Amino acid sequence: MIAAPGVAATGSRLSVLQPVVHGGSIGRKRSEISASLSSPVRGGDAVDWVEATSSFFEQDSRPIMLFDGVCNLCNGGVKFVRDNDRQRRIRFEALQSDAGKNLLRRSGRAPDDISSVVLVEQNKSYIKSEAVLKIMEYIDLPFPQLAFFLQFVPLFIRDFVYENIADNRYAVFGRSESCEI
C-alpha cells in the first residue's frame, strides 16, 4: 500500500523472507550483534533487511512514513502530512501491512511494534519525535523551520511527550476497524 502516484509497489519477495534469528547473541558485543543483523542471507538463519527491502527504493527514493493504520490520530497525521506535502516527497505505509513489518525490521524494530511512527529513508530510519521532526523537514513551510527550532528541545523531553501521546492515542482519539488511508 505504498502511496506513490500511479505506481503500485509489489513486495512479493518480501513476504517469503524469514525473521531475523539472533541465535547466541547473549554476551556478544553490540558491534557483533549489529553485524549479525545486517549480514546477508545465509541458509535462512539471518536476513539483511536493508537488502531485502531495497526494492522499495530502487525506482522511488522518497522516504516512507510508517504509521499505525487503525489509529485515528495517526490517520489524521497522515492526512495532515499529505495536505502539507504538495511536492509529494513522502510515501506512506501502515505498520500492520507486510511491507510495513519488513520496513520495521529494516529499522531494527520488531515487526509487531506499532508504538511509534517511523520514517524510513534509503539509508536511515527515524522513530518517535525524531521521525516527526524529520517528516516536518520534508513538508511545506513553516514546518521545516519549526522542526529546526524543536530540535533544540532535548530528545528525552521530546520523546517523553511523544510517548505519553502515543500511549494514550486510542483512549483519546479512538481507533478504526481498518486502515482508512
Task: Please check whether residue 8 lies inside any domain of the structure.
Answer: no
Host domain of residue 24: 14-173
Angle between helix 143-150 and helix 128-138 axes, rounded to 10 deg? 150
| pTM of the entire predicted model | 0.73
Pairwise CA distance, residues 102 & 94, whole Å: 11
- Looking at the domain assignment, is residue 5 inside a domain? no
- Read off the pLDDT of residues 107-130 as tens digits, 9 standing for 90 and up: 999 999 999 999 999 999 999 999
Give domain status of residue 2, yes or no: no
Q: pLDDT at position 180, please? A: 66
Domain assignment of residue 100, yes or no = yes
Domains: count for the chain: 1
Tell me if 166 is assigned to some domain. yes
- For residue 4, pLDDT over 50 is answered with no
Q: Is the pLDDT of residue 21 over 60?
A: no
Q: What is the pLDDT of residues 49-69, one digit of tens each?
A: 999 899 999 999 999 999 999
Look at residue 41 in the predicted model and tell me its pLDDT. Answer: 43
